[in-house]
Amino acid sequence: MTESPHLPDEDSGSGRVRWRRFAVLTVPAVAVTAGLGIALAQGALAASFAVSGQQFKVSAKSLEGEGFVQYGSVDVNAREELIPVAVTAIREAKLNSLCQSVVTTLPVIGDISLNLTAGQKKPVEASNLFVDATQLSGDAVFSNIEIGRDASTLDKGPADAQGMQDLFAQQADTVSITDLQQTAWATNAGTFKLSGLKMDINKGKKECF
């Protein structure tokens, strides 16, 4: 009787694979892929694109919004690593004195700052605004707020602004924030109208706050 072929664990010649070692090396990659697949299936991913490896800062003298929701979610970068974020979504928003900054460190040159400003005279207007943040501060006032609502049942924000079932969330009819400061991985909007837009590149660190 012919015996079944046997795949050795150790090398026994050129072209052979050490199967135990191969399995150990592939487990982390499989786990990451599985985690990403589960997140996709459950609608847990926030941004619809791979985020960069740099967070950026956003500030505004004031924000007025209609249709506010907030819930936990995750972003994913180009390495398919999952990044926890708090998603703030607003159906219609107006921001005064908007500032956005990001600092990049380059070899030899050092720190380079990119600064965007807008809305100094006329407010910045955004519809279906999503911000995936890790920090937010300011003085806030909400109307008809619901705290502790299931994230999958949110219905006051943009149409797609819902999180995973059983997770904590909150929503309100309107939100007003003064002296807004937030650090974020991503922002996207249906429309984003920036009046008086200005961009500057500076050597060294020059941030919104």
Distances (CA, A) of 174 to 131, 157, 189: 16, 10, 18
pLDDT of residue 17: 52
The rounded mean pLDDT for the chain is 86
Q: What is the pLDDT of residues 153-190, one digit of tens each?
A: 999 999 999 999 999 999 999 999 999 999 999 999 99
Residue recorded with tokens 């707020």: 145
Residue recorded with tokens 């602004």: 161
DSSP 153: G
Which is more confident, 120 or 3? Answer: 120
pLDDT of residue 22: 45
Mean pLDDT calculated for residue range 195-207:
96
Gyration radius (Cα) of the chain, Å: 23
Per-residue HEC secondary structure of 133-151 comes to EEEEEEEEEEECCEEEEEH
For residue 72, give the 3-state DSSP assignment.
strand
Q: What is the pLDDT of residues 58-117, one digit of tens each?
A: 999 999 999 999 999 999 999 999 999 999 999 999 999 999 999 999 999 999 999 999
pLDDT of residue 115: 98
pLDDT of residue 16: 52
